[in-house]
Amino acid sequence: MNIEDLTPTERRLWEAFPKGESVDLSSGDAAYDDIGQADRWGHERVVRAEVLVALLVGAVEAEPGQVAAVRLAGARVTGSLNLGHADVSVPLALTSCSFDEAPHLYWASMNSVHLMRCRLPGLIASGTRVDGHLWLEGSRITGGLWLDGANITGILNMSGVQLSNPGGDALLADRLTVEANVYCDQGFTSNGEVRLPGARIGGQLILRGARLQNPSGPALYASRLDVAANVFCDGGFTAEGEVRLRGASVGGYLSFVGARLSAPGRTALNADDLTVETDIYCSDGFTATGAVSFSGARVTGQLSLRDARLRHDQGTALSLQRVQAEELLLRTAEPIQGTADLSYARINLLRDDAASWPERLQLDGLQYETLEPPLTARQRLDWLRRDTDGYAPQPYERLAQTYRSLGLDADGRSVLLAKARDRRKTQGLSRKIIGLMQDGLVGYGYRPFRAASWLIGLLAFGTIVFSLHKPDVLDDGQRPHFNPFFYTLDLILPIGTLGQEMAFAPKGVYQWIANFIVAAGLVLGLTVAAGVTRALSRE
């Protein structure tokens, strides 16, 4: 480019470049300098994009001992800033500048790039490598920001950035690699889809206070995202549209504290198969309208839903199916509106609250070691019976085993008795009749001392009957004195003898009564013995 063709403004920039000096074209009037007023700026603030390209690709060399750089503020950039496949070794720093056309940096090799508080009708940086920071703080970008396949060795700062591409990709960052932190906070907004699938971030991903809007689809699509440290979607984070973190990996903790997600009738948060090395916090005011799913997620620490509000009336509001976590804190601010699916989850410590239980649960296959609080068997049975799939044996067995491990044997037996009774409701008529008899007599074996009561009643019955009708004597020569109480007791005892049964023999209907007492005594006696054995061994 011939220097004689430059405007006075462009000449200032040309001459400042070799020393890396800044050129500020601002007027000092804040209202006039606002980039929204760039169309009103005069020619004295206009710089052609081709001038910037010439400087960046080596048209002018740095002065000895100086670091050349393009540093420009308050300019209106006309034409196409096209650096596609270029090798740029000097920094680019534009502040409060307005672009007429979207810059093209695709597959370029750049030094640090600062486009701060700028207005751009798009930015195409697909496949770009930035050796340093990419700083877009406070910029307004319409038409889409493309960073797919880009590689940034430093920080990606999008704090306060306003992205707008309704119905399209506000941020296209598939397979983006950032070796340090990514900042999308301090007023970051997007109207359109924010895409980060397959992206790798070597530090933290900070979306604190961000506002994402894409009602017709995903507001944040970050499946298979890999973040080495923490992810912050808190501090007033809102998303109108789905948040997808399926298959993502987080090396620290994931915070949705106080976040508000909205995708009515759809999935508000899809974190299926997510891996988190420490904790997940969907707590302290976290609100989701739409389903929240952590199916298959693996959490080394705690998954907290303390004081959360979840609503998805027509389906599963919370899916924790196959989740693996050290601790699950399920004490929501109000009962979950919709079904909570905990089937086949594996939890070491389950902390919940009866006041926050949803009306509909799915618990088959749920494994847990400890309950806090354990609550009474009556309360926990109400919890089990909210299962929408009806009777299944495993939840009862798991609860009973947990009670026994806590030393609450009576509660464990109550749960197993309830299991037998609830199972009876699913059986045919004949089995129901037999089950009713077993329940009434011995509580299916889990109420063995009920059998003792029946034994006492049987003893009293026999004593009365044989007091009124003494049995015949078998041998007059060796006749003991007849005692109806001991005679009935002798019939009941399955082993040993008191000398009464062998000496007297009833006839007719009384013989049938005696045989009934013998049979009933055998069954009831064995039941009592089994119950005593179970109690002594603390089964």
Per-residue pLDDT of the chain (539 residues; tens, 9 = 90+): 678 889 999 999 999 999 999 999 999 898 899 998 998 999 999 999 999 999 999 999 999 999 999 999 999 999 999 999 999 999 999 999 999 999 999 999 999 999 999 999 999 999 999 999 999 999 999 999 999 999 999 999 999 999 999 999 999 999 999 999 999 999 999 999 999 999 999 999 999 999 999 999 999 999 999 999 999 999 999 999 999 999 999 999 999 999 999 999 999 999 999 999 999 999 999 999 999 999 999 999 999 999 999 999 889 999 999 999 999 999 999 999 999 999 999 999 999 999 899 999 999 999 999 999 999 999 999 999 999 988 899 999 999 999 999 989 888 888 888 888 778 877 788 776 766 666 665 565 666 666 667 777 777 887 888 787 777 676 665 667 777 787 777 777 766 666 666 677 777 787 878 788 777 777 666 666 655 565 445 44
Task: Compute how many other C-beta atoms are within 10 angstroms of the C-beta atom of residue 144.
Answer: 20
Residue whose structure tokens are 């750089």: 69
Task: Compute how many other C-beta atoms are within 10 angstroms of the C-beta atom of residue 418.
Answer: 21
Q: Give the C-alpha distances (Å, rounded to integers) separating 325 from 64, 268, 280, 321, 370.
A: 60, 21, 10, 11, 13
* pTM, rounded to two decimals: 0.83
Q: Give the C-alpha distances (Å, rounded to integers) separating 319 from 12, 94, 493.
A: 62, 47, 56
Distance from C-alpha of 275 to C-alpha of 248, rounded to nearest angstrom: 6
Distance from C-alpha of 207 to C-alpha of 205, rounded to nearest angstrom: 7
Q: Which two tokens stand for residue 95?
A: 């502040």
Residue 166's beta-bridge partner residues? none
Task: Compute how many other C-beta atoms are within 10 angstroms of the C-beta atom of residue 101.
Answer: 15
Residue 334 identity? E
Containing H/E element for 489?
A: helix 484-492
